[in-house]
Structure 1
Amino acid sequence: MSSLLHPSRRPFVILAVLYSSVLFTSTAVQHYLMGSQVWDLGIFEQFNWLIANGKINTISSLRNITPLQDHFSLLLLPIALVYKLSPNAYTLFALQSLALGCMPALAADLCLRQGVKRELIWALAIAIVLSPYSFLVNRGDFHPDVLTLPLMLVAIREVDQPRRWLYYPCLLLTLVAKNAQALFGIGLSFYALAKGQRARAAITLAISMAWWSLATHISSAGGDHVGIRLGYLGDTKLEMLTTLITRPSVVFNEAPPDSILLYSLGLSLPFLALLGRASWKALLGCTPIYFTNLISASSIQRELNHHYSIGILAFLIGGCIDALAQANPPSLQRAKTILYATLLFSTAALLGYGRLGYYQSRLLPRLQEAQDFQAAKQIIQPNDSVLTIANYAAHMAGRQMVKQIEKPGYGAVNQYDWIVLPAPNIPINIAGKLKRVDRTKLGPNVARVRREAEAAQMNCRSANASIVLCSRT
Structure 2
Amino acid sequence: MKHKIIAIVVISSIILFLSSSLRHIFFHSTANDLGIFDQSVYLISQGEKPISSLLGFHILADHAAFIWYPISLFYRIYPSVYWLFAIQSIALSLGAYFVYQLSLQQGLKEKQSLAIAIIYLLYPTIISANLFDFHPDTIALPSCFWLVLIARQANQSNYKTSLIKFFTAILIIVSCKAVLSLTVLMTGIWLVFFEKKRIYGLIAIILGLSWFIISTQFIIPYFGSNAASISRHLTHYSYIGNSFIEIVTNTFFKPQILINHVISFSILFYLLSLILPVIWGLSLKYLNPIICGSPQLLMCILSSNKSFYTVGYQYTLPIVTFLFLAVISNIKTQSYCLKNKNIILILVVLGFLISFNPHIDIGSNIGRDFSSLTYSLQASDKAVKIINELDNLRKDGYKGSVLTTAKIIPHLSHRFIIKLADENISKDEIGTFDYVLLNTHYPILTSSREFAKSLSEELKIDIRYQMFFHENGILLFVKEI
TM-score normalised by the chain length of structure 1: 0.87
Q: Note the C-alpha offset of 1:360.
A: 4.2
Q: Number of matched residues?
A: 450
Residue 128 of structure 2: which of 132, 136, 148 is its match? 136
Name the CA distance, whole Å, in 2 between partners of 1:199 and 1:259.
40
Distance 1:67 1:342 in 2: 42
Query: For 2:414, what is the secondary structure of its paired residue?
Result: coil
Q: Find the counterpart in structure 1 of residue 54 from structure 2.
A: 62
Q: Which residue of 2 aligns with 1:340?
A: 342
| Partners of 2:244 and 2:200 in 1: CA distance | 27
One-letter amino acid of the structure 2 residue matched with residue 216 of structure 1: T
Structure 1 residue aligned with 2:179: 180
Deviations 1:303-351 (A, max 9, x none): 2232212111111122222223x3x453xxx255244332221111123
Following superposition, the deviation at residue 466 of structure 1 comes to 3.4
In structure 1, list runs of 5 or more residues that go unmatched. Answer: 1-7, 432-439
Contact preservation (8 Å) 2:312, 2:356: no
Q: Which amino acid letter does the alignment assign opposite residue 417 of structure 1?
A: D
| CA distance 1:235–1:441, shift in 2 (3 Å) | closer
Bigger drift between 227-236 and 76-85 goes to: 227-236
Q: CA RMSD in A?
A: 2.6
Whether the 8 Å contact between 1:9 and 1:108 is mirrored in structure 2 is: no
Q: Which moved more, 1:386-395 or 1:252-261?
A: 252-261
Match of 2:150 among 150, 155, 158: 158
Deviation at 1:20, TM superposition (A): 1.7
One-letter amino acid of the counterpart of residue 189, structure 1: G
Q: Which residue of 2 aligns with 1:195?
A: 195
Contact 1:120 1:339 in 2 (8 A): no
**1:9–1:308 CA distance, 2 compared to 1 (3 A):** same
Q: Is the 1:191–1:285 contact (alpha carbons within 8 Å) kept by the matching residues of 2?
A: yes
* Contact kept in structure 1, 2:404 and 2:420, CA below 8 Å: yes
Partner residue, 2:412: 396
> Which region of structure 1 is more displaced relative to structure 2, 314-323 or 355-364?
355-364
Shift of 1:212: 1.0
Task: Give the letter for the 2:433 counterpart.
Answer: Y
2:403 and 2:437 in contact (8 A); partners too: yes
Q: Which of 270, 275, 287 matches 1:268?
A: 275
Alignment of 1:104 with 2:96, yes or no, is yes
Find the partner of 1:387 among 403, 414, 428. Answer: 403
Q: 2:7 aligns with which of 1, 14, 35?
A: 14
Match of 2:250 in 1: 243
Percent of pairs identical after alignment? 23
Q: Kindly provide the amino acid, as one letter, of the partner of residue 25 in structure 2.
A: Y
Partner SS for 2:403: strand
Task: Identify the range of structure 1 (338-347 vs 285-294) with the bigger mean alpha-carbon deviation.
Answer: 338-347
Counterpart residue number, 1:223:
229
Q: Aligned AA for 2:267?
A: I
Contact 1:280 1:319 in 2 (8 A): yes
Please say if residues 312 and 355 of structure 2, whose CA atoms lie closer than 8 Å, have aligned partners that are also in contact: no
Question: What is the aligned partner in structure 2 of residue 289 from structure 1?
Answer: 296
Per-residue CA distance 1:157-205 (angstroms, 9 max, x = gap): 3334354222221012101112111121122123213223344333322
CA distance in 1, matches of 2:77, 2:460: 36
Q: Superposed, which structure 2 residues align to 1:32-43 within 5 Å? A: 32-43=25-36
CA gap 1:278/1:51 in 2 versus in 1, 3 angstroms: farther
Structure 1 residue 457 and structure 2 residue 459: aligned? Answer: no
| Counterpart-to-counterpart distance in 2, 1:103 and 1:219 | 29
Structure 1 residues 357 and 234, CA, compared in 2 at 3 Å: closer, same or farther?
closer
Q: Which residue of 1 aligns with 2:311?
A: 304
Cα distance in structure 2, aligned partners of 1:362 and 1:292: 28
